[in-house]
Amino acid sequence: MSANLGQAVAEAGRYLGHFEGLADTWDVFQVGEEYGYRVPLTIGTLRALFELAKDVHDTAKEYGAQDLDRVLSRGR
């Protein structure tokens, strides 16, 4: 991973907070046109967040719903 995941989350979170009222379907070009602002996320952040999502997806495929319920109930 080229960027620290904690740094990636912090970087993305700073910018997402500015756009809470926007629909999730908006892209950075629409935001730029509407507000004159581009979201300056680094490629490393995008890569780290993608890799996290891929890891979560791959891990989730290995477990069934009952397995996930059992693991999640331990934290309650």
Structure confidence by residue, pLDDT tens digits, 38-71: 767 777 877 888 888 888 878 777 777 788 788 7
Within its chain, how far is the Cα of 65 from the centroid? Answer: 23
- Other beta carbons within 10 angstroms of residue 8's beta carbon come to 23
- Does this model's pTM top 0.85? My answer is no
Contact predicate 51/1, CB 8 Å = yes
Q: Name the one residue in this structure whose structure tokens are 């379907």.
A: 25
pLDDT digits (tens, 9 = 90+) for 19-28: 778 888 888 7
